[in-house]
Chains A and B, each alone.
Chain A
Amino acid sequence: DTEVTQTPKHLVMGMTNKKSLKCEQHMGHRAMYWYKQKAKKPPELMFVYSYEKLSINESVPSRFSPECPNSSLLNLHLHALQPEDSALYLCASSQDIRSGTRGETQYFGPGTRLLVL
């Protein structure tokens, strides 16, 4: 099973709202990722978690707050977003970025399409 699930599929929120995106995998992967994808563009890396610890933050604004409660779950908490934050948010997981495994594959979820009004 190479499935990564994401909820919700769609989200509409106002600029003063607080919402959360959820990602789950049951492949035993220890690395999890958040990407942001604007229309007709490739995904852009936001955060990387390795063994439930934040290892990479690509200078993402603090209105995005990631959380990794356990090795299977990854959340992205949203607060005071701007209309330009509207995008497809993709979660991915991979086996273990510390093992040195060559060509580690990232498996992506279907994404949450976010619209900020």
Chain B
Amino acid sequence: GAGVSQSPRYKVAKRGQDVALRCDPISGHVSLFWYQQALGQGPEFLTYFQNEAQLDKSGLPSDRFFAERPEGSVSTLKIQRTQQEDSAVYLCASSLATNAFMGEQFFGPGTRLTVL
């Protein structure tokens, strides 16, 4: 079956441009996570959705970062006025459950963002 998909897979932006990264979770998955993975590092939590509700956005690094999931399925991570330090792989993960013990997170392949 289809896994988590993300698009685009690669994005090059000039400093100051706005970008939008898309995540298509596994159908029926309630929980959706965004993580940021800098080169050579482990992923770091950005934000969490349960259906369409954004329950945790504590990991968003600045107010330039905005995420939404308006219909409880597809999610978009938007970064305004991109900076070089935003260069990273952005990973999306989805889970069937809302409880950590009951729901494995399935990760997409990520979007590699390079800000010049």
- Do the two chains belong together in a single complex? no
